[in-house]
Structure 1
Amino acid sequence: MDELEVKTLPALDWHGIWPGYVSHDEEGLYFPQDLPTGIRLAVQQAECSEPVMARQKRWEAGNIHYPSLIREGDRYRLWYCCFADPEDPWVQAGHVPGKVPGLWCYAESDDGFHWERPELGRVEYAGSKDNNILFVCDQVGSSYGYMNVMRDPNGSDEERYKAIGITAKFEVDGQPASRAEVMELRAKREAAGDAGEIGANITSQVVVTAGVSADGYSWTHLPEPIMAPPFLLDTQNILTYDADSGKYVIYLRSGRERRRAVSRYEADTFRGPWDNHLMVLTAEPDDPPDWDIYAPGYCRHPHGQHLMFFSPYRRASDLVDVYLATSHDGQLWYRPERKPIIPVSERYGSLYPTPELVELDQDHWGVLTLACPHPHNRSSDHPHEYIWATWKRDRLVAWEADDWAEFALSEQLCAGQQLKLNFKTLLPGAFVEVEIVDGSLPNRTGATLVPALEGFSFADCDRMSGDELAAVVSWRGKSDLSALKGRKIHLRFRMARAQLFAVTL
């Protein structure tokens, strides 16, 4: 038989858990079969690192802001916006135009914790090009530059990297106008106390802008927007390519009736047209009534599922923390548990994750996060910082037993190697044990459980305890599953005061 692929099933939602069955005996009495009992979904809050990057250079004196990160091989690549000090003489001389003196910059790292700002020689600042500035943000009509970078596996070599931002398109009396022209006109109207005689009508629409690059350093700004959504846009929108559907996908900050939400569009090509609009994430009836959904924080799970590390803005407290949503198709989203996966702290009042879950080392994953030391609407001179929110591998969510749990997994194809568990027991005496059943659950012909395969029962299983990322399951000391290669099987679990994060088979 051809070699079968070993697969990992992470605990993210109830998919993968067999929902059970009920049969009745000859007397019509109720007989439950493998009904899951005693488990719940438990989001695992991140461990947060010390700051790995903060403002350092003269052109960053105003602060660093939204980052976008990609890991390529052993190199971490970071594109980020920073603000110069408006009082800097170089800014005062008009070299960094715009409402806010924004610059789009680049950094890289071998480990994600120690960052270098390479001297790129592209943009002059204070009489020197020895800096890591890629371009002045005003060139793309935004104070933030581009807010999301993707490496496109489907793109041409010349457009391997793609980025998106936002800008406003203006019209005066139905004719296109620049931001500067509109600002000048508004200033004249305000000075004159004008009620409409100067410029009968000023309109604006926020659109999605884009740039392309062969290497991530030299960017071509597309002259026309790639999208003009029918709602008010904001920052931190996400562009991706969905290899499953063969579509480009954009997750946008949208809204309805003054409440922020996340919308999804898709297109056959990067430049559009974009269609199939869905509002995919919004405040739900179980959420507090003051919630808005801010940054989408979309990325793919290393095992393929869709994730959103999204930031709800909690208006009553003026705080922004990070929650987790999961999906199997990028359209229908679930919340494993309604608690933050990256919580605010005394040190940080607003958190905005980059849209990428990356491997930091063999045993840890991380999401680089913009951490602001103030609530959302409070100004502060304190520096913004980039921190890592980290988890042990595959430990975003657990199937957790507070006391005692019994459940079975939906049928899986056995690759014929070993069964490995990523698990943790929580108290002395706690354990996990497994038995293997063939793929014929449930028993539809009678009121008896489908028995375990010979030699793979709970009675045979060597109980497991501790804290392990890839513990090999054994039955009376034997772990070889080669005799089951290519067979569809079910795994039955018993757990006492334990967490199960992932199953590899």
Structure 2
Amino acid sequence: MTSAKIPAFLWFAIFLAALARVSQAAPPAEPSFVFPTTGVRTSPEAVLLAIDDASLPLKRNLCFYLSKPTVRIDPVLTPNRANPDAPDFLSTHFYGTVLFDQGKYRMWYYACHRGQNPDWSPALKAQAANWKDEIIPGPLCYAESDDGLTWRKPDLGQLLFKGSRHHNALDLPSALTGDACVVKDDDPDPSRRYKLAFWTHHDPWNYPTMRIATSPDGLVWKAAPRPPIRAFLEHASFYRHNGLYIVNSQAFMLGEGGRDRGRQGVAWISPDFDHWLQEPAESFALPAVAQLKRDEVHLGVGAASFGNVAVGLYCIWHNDPDFGKISGDFGLLVSNDGIAFREPVKGHVFLKSTDSPSPAVGDRTYPTILCQANGIVNVGDETRIYHSRWRNAGWPLTGDRVLDYYDEVALATLPRDRWGALGLAPRQTEGSVWSAPVVLPQDCRVELNADGADQMTVEIADERFGLLSDYAEGQSGRPVQGGGLACEVQWPKGSLKPLAGRTVRFRIHMKSAGDKTPRLYAVYLKAAR
């Protein structure tokens, strides 16, 4: 068998096209920080959170002081109860996403409506026929805001829903949908700049799973033709961390010897978004308890990536044989690889459902289940925690009780990155903490997110804890501000350029001064541009 010879000019054209693709896909590398102990590379900034005991592992005379977020009493988004034909007539579940994008806040959320949509195609009607309850999950919806507090539901004109296209629902090829988790990344193909992982049921299997879609603008979506993972999958979040796409979901994981463990958190992984591993990793699990009245991990971890660290919330699902008695609080988690999460303080409740309660219905009060997703957003000096408060009126519901089913989007806030602090333990007057080893770029600066920063000094050592004389002891770095979210540290030696390419550790000392109590929330390593 012979093959036709390709002319030389065509080979040259092919070479140029390939070179263009490589150039497009591989922009010049940014200066980055590398953490040998975790295998994570990040640019142009690394964040060493006080709650991250892998980044700040060695401590003396210090302890954690975890923060309590401030909860906005009023919701930021509610169902459209004025219109029974609205896609979000019953609920606005925040198993969704908030991004600060294009100078505004953008939200994708999971609505619920009452009664099936008569305008579905025959294929979607066939899917929906398998769902026997009056409360219908979906469609996914979209909202916008200038300040993240007051939201508008734009008329997208996409989906024919109960006789109208004048609403904010997205048109997707599934009748039963939820979990609107969106990532915007630097994909060189602009038609794939936004990526969506959403929940679907009876599409194509008789259990919940995940489908994926891409979009140039976050509004018009092209779904992949089939689910990428053949498994039961209900997810809380979707994020990109250390070069991997990760979906964090709940699963009914088996324990030792096949024992029942109830709902637990698992992570599903993809290198490129299109192809997903069929083997999940345990992401976070609570101790197994034999009886049904127990705590479980509901829908996995709602996580956000901050380069070298991911912070997440999980719903502590207080399970009960009587569904109407179930409530859910938030626990706080941290991870370095974005897959395996841990509690900074085991068993700590970060936010109680009673601190962000769903509204009563007349004289009827119901338990609240807090819902976490892609809702952790850093904007300016604030960390925002969008979540929802699901009014658990029981399940299933029929007749007028259907109207008691409700969920609204809520907001809790912290000063930026102040999830918790390291501070002097009671009766201690001085203490210190070592960082994990990190390889520095060509030049960088160090900032502290701290109260009482003027009571702190910073030394630099090699990876084996040998202090570097130009940056330690009498030559230690000192913050130039007394406290704040970004207190720059300066060394008498000046620039850290001589440490380019070296693996170093940072050692932060703190001392009490009168009634002033130092608190360290984060250390920022920022590459010079």
Q: Tell me the TM-score normalized by structure 2.
A: 0.69
Residue of structure 2 in register with 1:71 after alignment: 100
Instruction: Point out the structure with the larger helix share.
Output: 2
2:76 is the counterpart of 1:52: yes
Residue of structure 2 in register with 1:262 after alignment: 265
Shift of 1:363: 0.6
Residue of structure 2 in register with 1:494 after alignment: 510
The 5-angstrom pairing of residues 453-492 of structure 1 reads 453=472, 455-456=474-475, 468-472=484-488, 482=494, 484-487=496-499, 488=504, 490-492=506-508
The 2-side partners of 1:463 and 1:152 are apart by 35
2:450 is the counterpart of 1:423: yes
Aligned residue-pair number: 427
Residue of structure 2 in register with 1:228 after alignment: 230
The 5-angstrom pairing of residues 79-478 of structure 1 reads 79-86=108-115, 94-95=118-119, 98=128, 99=131, 100-101=135-136, 102-125=138-161, 127-135=163-171, 139-142=173-176, 144-145=177-178, 147-154=180-187, 156-160=189-193, 161-168=195-202, 204-229=206-231, 232-233=232-233, 235-242=234-241, 244-245=242-243, 247-256=244-253, 257-284=260-287, 290-315=294-319, 318-337=326-345, 338-345=347-354, 347-348=357-358, 349-360=368-379, 362-374=380-392, 381=404, 383-403=406-426, 404=428, 405-410=430-435, 413=440, 419-424=446-451, 432-436=455-459, 438-439=461-462, 442=465, 453=472, 455-456=474-475, 468-472=484-488
Aligned-partner residue type, residue 97 of structure 2: S
Kept after mapping to 1: 8 A contact 2:261/2:289: no
Shift of 1:382: 6.7
Instruction: Give secondary structure in 2 for the equivalent of 1:486.
Output: helix
Aligned-partner residue type, residue 151 of structure 1: K
Residue of structure 2 in register with 1:33 after alignment: none
The 1-side partners of 2:416 and 2:265 are apart by 28
Instruction: Give secondary structure in 1 for the equivalent of 2:485.
Output: strand
Q: Aligned pair in 2 of structure 1 residues 442, 283: CA closer, same or farther (>3 Å)?
A: same
Residue of structure 2 in register with 1:43 after alignment: 66
Shift of 1:251: 2.4
CA RMSD of aligned residues (A): 3.9
Structure 2 residues without counterparts, runs of 5 or longer: 1-29, 33-43, 254-259, 359-367, 398-402
Residue of structure 1 in register with 2:50 after alignment: 11
Choose from 90, 112, 124 the match for 1:62: 90
The 2-side partners of 1:452 and 1:170 are apart by 61
Deviations 1:289-309 (A, max 9, x none): 811111224433334312321
Instruction: Give secondary structure in 2 for the equivalent of 1:372.
Output: strand
Percent identity, aligned pairs only? 19
The 1-side partners of 2:235 and 2:444 are apart by 43
Shift of 1:227: 1.4
The 1-side partners of 2:510 and 2:441 are apart by 20
Instruction: Give secondary structure in 1 for the equivalent of 2:510.
Output: strand
Shift of 1:333: 2.3
The 2-side partners of 1:281 and 1:320 are apart by 16
Aligned-partner residue type, residue 314 of structure 2: F
Kept after mapping to 1: 8 A contact 2:249/2:300: yes
The 1-side partners of 2:478 and 2:222 are apart by 60
Deviations 1:60-98 (A, max 9, x none): 322222333333242222122223344xxxx6x834664
Aligned-partner residue type, residue 416 of structure 2: R
Instruction: Give secondary structure in 2 for the equivalent of 1:307.
Output: strand
The 1-side partners of 2:64 and 2:144 are apart by 36
Kept after mapping to 2: 8 A contact 1:350/1:375: no
Aligned-partner residue type, residue 332 of structure 1: A
Shift of 1:334: 1.8
Instruction: Give secondary structure in 2 for the equivalent of 1:312.
Output: strand
Residue of structure 2 in register with 1:179 after alignment: none
Kept after mapping to 2: 8 A contact 1:433/1:463: no
Deviations 1:179-214 (A, max 9, x none): xxxxxxxxxxxxxxxxxxxxxxxxx44433333333
The 2-side partners of 1:268 and 1:473 are apart by 37
Q: Aligned pair in 2 of structure 1 residues 226, 327: CA closer, same or farther (>3 Å)?
A: same
The 1-side partners of 2:299 and 2:267 are apart by 13
Aligned-partner residue type, residue 387 of structure 1: A
Q: Aligned pair in 2 of structure 1 residues 155, 272: CA closer, same or farther (>3 Å)?
A: farther
The 1-side partners of 2:281 and 2:222 are apart by 30
Kept after mapping to 2: 8 A contact 1:309/1:355: no
Shift of 1:314: 1.6
Aligned-partner residue type, residue 292 of structure 1: E
